[in-house]
Amino acid sequence: MLRLKQKTKINTVILLLFCFCFSGASLVEAANASPELAPLSFLINKEKFLDPEYLYVDIALNPNLNSINAALMGIEFDPQALELLTATTASSCPLLINEFIDNKQGRADLICGALVAITNDSPIFHLKFKKKVSGFTNLNFLSHSTLLLADGHGTPVPVQTESHDIYLVK
C-alpha cells in the first residue's frame, strides 16, 4: 500500500510538471479564474452491453466552464466481478502519462494529459473489463481523482464523482 501511495504521489508531481510546461494560458487569467465543479461519470457502451465476455466503459468529464489539460482518475471495482484488461486514452486526452492497474485489489490509477485544453463534454479513458460473474456490481471514483486546469499552474479542479451500479449480463 505504501508503494502505491508513493507511486501516486510521484505521478501527481509528473502530471503537475506536465501541465505547467505545456499550458498556453496566461498567468493573469489564472489569477482571476476560480474553477467550477467538474462532473466525472462512467458511460457504459450500450451497443456492446450484452457481450457475454466483456464490459466496455468510458470515463467522461464535463469541464463545466473550465479548460482542462490533465486528469488523474482513481477507480474502484469489485475484483470478484470484473477484471480490468485495458485502459486507453480517448482523443481528447491522448497522452497516457501513467497506468496502474491492480486487479487483485480492484482499483486502477490512470493519468492522461492533453496539449490542447479540453473544453467540451468528452470521454477521457476507454476501459475494457472482463466479466467474471453475472449480477449487480458497481464502479466508483476514488477520492483522489483530480482534473487540472490548463492555466500554467495545473490548478486542481473540484470534481463531482459518481458511483455507477451495473448489472452484468454473462
State the pairing for strand pair 159-160/163-168.
Answer: unpaired
pLDDT band per the 50, 70, 90 thresholds, residue 49: confident
CA distance 156 to 85: 29
Quote the DSSP letter at residue 155. -
pLDDT band per the 50, 70, 90 thresholds, residue 50: confident
Phi, psi of 156 (to 5 degrees): -65, 140
Mean pLDDT of 47-75: 93
Quote the DSSP letter at residue 78. -
- Condensed to tens digits (0 to 9), the pLDDT of residues 33-46 reads 567 889 999 999 88
Percent of the chain with pLDDT over 90: 67
Per-domain residue ranges of the chain: 2-168
The arrangement of secondary structure in 2-168, i.e. its CATH architecture, is: Sandwich (2.60)
CA distance 145 to 167: 24
Mean pLDDT of 116-120: 93
**Helices first, then strands: H and E counts in the chain:** 2, 12
